[in-house]
Chains A and B, each alone.
Chain A
Amino acid sequence: MQAQTQLTLDLQLKESFTFDNYRVGDNALVLAMLQDVVSESGERQILIWGDHFTGKSHLLQAVCHLAARQSLSVSYLPLAQCMDYPADILQGLESMDVICVDDVQQVAGSPQWQEGLFNLINRVREAGSRLIFTSSLPPNELSLQLEDLRSRLNWGPVLALKTLNDDDKCRALQSRAQSRGFDLPDTVARYILNNYSRDLGDLLGTLEKLDQASLSHQRRLTIPFVKTVFA
């Protein structure tokens, strides 16, 4: 939902979120189940949950791409950006083959949205479409007022996405660096991981700062340089 002016900016950084470029880590099983959603025998409803930066949205986009490639109709709904709108946005979505709803935890505190989602699940069940949810927590830990919604979110498999281990985080940093056109040596990646916040989001932020610093100082990324940047 960005404004048009941001669009050009997006273009330069545009990375397509697919299953191929998802850093699997310990989540191979979740991946397999999600990929199977588009098949006849796949689950009709799945909820995946996990911390920030476990790649929940990435996976949903990947499902959309996969479904679209198979000529299925799909809809992706980022709830984080929808809460200011009426839950009417959910109307008619059951006519899609696959419906991906991102960040279910957002509806806590909004009776209208909880009822809206509840109704959507009922309609989707009747229509025989597929539903995939992501959430920061499993349904039983979300503060939902509508128990009817909670029980329905538990209807299909509820799967946890595991955070990446250090090796995977290093590789994630390096591949991000690569895609931005610079090299991140192993030793430097380790150093960052061992000395700053290990949250993947923070790490990527750190990387961004380093990229800019190395550009403006015309220096390569070395441990001493990293130290001076964050001194």
Chain B
Amino acid sequence: MTTTLWGKCLQRLEQELSDQQLNTWIRPLQVIEEASTLRLLAPNRFVLDWVKQHFIEQINHILAQLSQGESIELSLEIGSQQASRQASTSQPPKKQADTPASILQELNQSKPTAPSPQEAISHNLNQTFTFDNFVEGKSNQLAKAASLQVAENSGSGYNPLFLYGGVGLGKTHLMHAVGNKIREANPKARIVYLHSERFVSHMIKALQHNAMAEFKQFYRTLDALLIDDIQFFAGKERSQEEFFHTFNALLEDNRQIILTCDRYPKEIEGLEERLKSRFGWGLPVCIEPPELETRVAILHKKADEFGVELPDEVAFFIGKRIRSNIRELEGSLRRVMATAKFTSKPITLEFAKDTLRDLIALHDRLVTIDNIQKTVAEYYKIRTSDLLSNSRSRSITRPRQVAMALSKELTNHSLPEIGNAFGGRDHTTILHGCRKIVELRESDSKINEDYLNLYRILSN
């Protein structure tokens, strides 16, 4: 058992504080014990202030009792100590100054021995995201092809590569895959991936510490810069300004920029026009929600990665019901696998149905034909009754067919049932409507966009 001073102090606090106080404020503190000082590291200012206000006296009091007269100096600071993952107490704290350069420093420090300059890690890519394990389907074919192009002609081809689409469709995966591919050809390439939030926070810290020169130097000398979810730049003018300059500098030097976003550049509200137009300079490519076959292939791939045998019928069962995004697909698969592990049962169709029963009930409840009709009518600003009527005006028939196609895709109702729900139409009418929409989505981008928007609204 712990015999350190802080360990003893913790034991006392466990007696004196409620679970909630202990787990919220005390346990997140990391500690460095030196001869006669005790340094407590709080993860952020808020915890620091709270502990100071509410617990420091109590802690001091306990320490005084425990140390039997020997004076212990207690200090509270912000920081974290990665080494505490092994519960060691003697290493110096990792400074929490999250500066741009620290992204790569962290990586190098995490190596057991200090790296020589040659082997210093020059990227922070997630190496598990590659083109090889990216499951390709109709919905993401174009995005994958474009990404491959960029990976093979880094900096000199499409620049920036702008990947956009709904949540959980694989944008981040592709982005890392490009980075990893670039490094295959040029292992020394300096590539940084970061979420837009981190770019913003780096910039703010650089401003606070008067280190803008360092900030600029760091970002403008990368071989490739990958920024995820740039829609979160919206409304942050100073960051946009700084990013604009970084962007230009990198582009001028033929260094690759890859961005992801949840929508087309022109549609990002709160983003400066000049940025929007620049984002469109390279190649904006859309990733659409995966169709059933792709969803099933993704499930198989994931199950493989976990070393679990997933019967086809189970993959189809899950893929048919979870349509909105890949994260949810993964979450459901994990749930099935974990349940199998803990109950020591084989993964069969019956088992999967039973495990995911609540989830599936929920989906079926959310996506009803009724709901689809209401949503489509609202979207096209017509009445629900129009959808059920016999009107043959184009302004009614198109939305009607869209609603039919969505009903077929999003519910498990039979075609005769769908026909019934649309004012008693024959199932061949439904089939015709669905085919028509498939055709039109290829030839008419407006209809395709409407369809995808509605699909997103309904399946989320």
Contact = CB atoms under 8 A, between A and B. Distances in A.
Contact of B27 (A29, A36, A73, A158): A73
Interface stretch (A8-16, A190-198, A214-222): A8-16
Contacts, number: 141
Interface in B167-199: 167-168, 195, 197
A73 B93 CA distance: 15
Interface residues of A, number: 58
A110 B109 CA distance: 37
Contacts of A140: 362-363, 366, 460
B338 interface: yes
Give the contact-size bracket for chain B. Answer: 35 or more
A107 interface: no
A64 B27 contact: yes
A128 to B, nearest CB: 9
B358 A73 contact: no
Interface in A1-36: 1-2, 4, 7, 10-11, 14, 16-17, 29, 32-33, 36
Contact of B325 (A29, A72, A91, A151): A151
A75 B334 contact: no
Contact of B229 (A7, A43, A148): A148
A199 interface: no
B428 interface: no
Given A85-B46, A147-B166, A148-B229, A156 B331 contact: yes
A97 B20 contact: no
A95 B44 CA distance: 10
A17 B45 CA distance: 28
Contacts of B343: 29
Nearest to A15: B19
Interface in A86-110: 86, 88-93, 95-97, 100
Nearest to B86: A71
B245 interface: no
Given A32-B342, A74-B23, A95-B82, A138 B334 contact: no
A128 B81 CA distance: 15
Contacts of B87: 71-72
A91 B49 CA distance: 14
Nearest to B81: A95
A152 interface: yes
Contacts of B44: 88-93
A17 B19 contact: yes
A33 B24 contact: no
A119 B338 contact: no
Contacts of A36: 342
B324 interface: yes
Interface of B: 16-24, 27-28, 30, 42-47, 54, 78, 80-82, 84-85, 87, 96, 166-168, 195, 197, 229, 232, 262, 324-325, 327-328, 330-331, 334-335, 338-339, 342-343, 358-359, 362-363, 366, 460
Closest 3 CB pairs of A and B: A76-B23, A92-B43, A95-B80
17 contacts: A1-B20, A7-B18, A29-B342, A32-B342, A60-B23, A64-B23, A64-B27, A65-B19, A74-B27, A88-B44, A93-B43, A140-B363, A140-B460, A150-B460, A151-B324, A154-B328, A155-B331
Given A64-B19, A73-B84, 10 more contacts: A36-B342, A65-B19, A74-B23, A85-B46, A88-B44, A88-B45, A92-B43, A93-B28, A96-B43, A122-B195
